[in-house]
């Protein structure tokens, strides 16, 4: 069960664009389109460098006030904000880039169902579908 939620979390963080301003409506998440955008080398898989690049992009886009941390309001703009509940490892009430990446790297490992070191579009879609039914 944890691997499914991890996969969902990884996929959401990796692939969804987050609105930097609260008044902007969040676009509907489309896992296939997001996968295609993240797969920058167009080889049909998301590898670790592509994953990391997208995670960093999502993090800084979500950081609306550009202070280098995500707080509750900013986390709430993520597609699956509950996935960040355990990210604040130092208990300061905000999520640093390192904390965010740590959680997402664990999610990537869980999401990689066949353990080939990459995420396929099928793995990404499966996670979104399961998480969306929660």
- Tell me if residue 43 falls in helix, strand or coil: coil
Per-residue confidence (pLDDT) for residue 129, from 0 to 100: 81
Per-residue confidence (pLDDT) for residue 4, from 0 to 100: 42
Domain count across the chain: 1
Phi/psi of residue 67, nearest 5 degrees: -95, 0
**Does residue 93 sit within a domain?**
yes
Per-residue confidence (pLDDT) for residue 132, from 0 to 100: 67
**Does residue 44 sit within a domain?**
yes
Sequence-distant (6+) residues with CB within 8 A of 97 are: 56, 59, 68
Residue 114 belongs to domain spanning = 2-18+28-132
Look up the CATH number of the domain holding residue 11: 1.10.238
**Does residue 79 sit within a domain?**
yes
Per-residue confidence (pLDDT) for residue 7, from 0 to 100: 42
Per-residue confidence (pLDDT) for residue 47, from 0 to 100: 97
**Does residue 92 sit within a domain?**
yes
**Does residue 23 sit within a domain?**
no
Residues 6-59 have pLDDT tens digits of 444 444 444 444 333 444 545 677 889 989 999 999 999 999 999 999 999 999
Residues 92-128 have pLDDT tens digits of 999 999 999 998 898 888 889 999 999 999 998 888 8
Residues 64-76 have pLDDT tens digits of 999 999 999 999 8
Chain position carrying tokens 């969040």: 26
């Amino acid at each position: 069960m944890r691997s499914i939620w991890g996969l969902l979390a990884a996929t959401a963080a990796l692939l969804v664009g987050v609105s930097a301003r609260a008044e902007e409506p969040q676009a509907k998440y489309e896992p296939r389109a997001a996968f295609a955008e993240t797969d920058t080398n167009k080889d049909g898989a998301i590898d670790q460098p592509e994953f990391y690049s997208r995670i960093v992009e999502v993090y800084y886009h979500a950081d609306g006030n550009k202070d280098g941390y995500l707080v509750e309001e900013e986390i709430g703009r993520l597609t699956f904000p509950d996935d960040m509940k355990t990210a604040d490892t130092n208990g300061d009430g905000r999520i640093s880039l390192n904390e965010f990446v740590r959680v997402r790297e664990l999610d990537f490992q869980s999401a990689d169902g066949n353990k080939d070191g990459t995420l396929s579009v099928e793995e990404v879609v499966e996670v979104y579908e399961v998480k969306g039914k929660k």
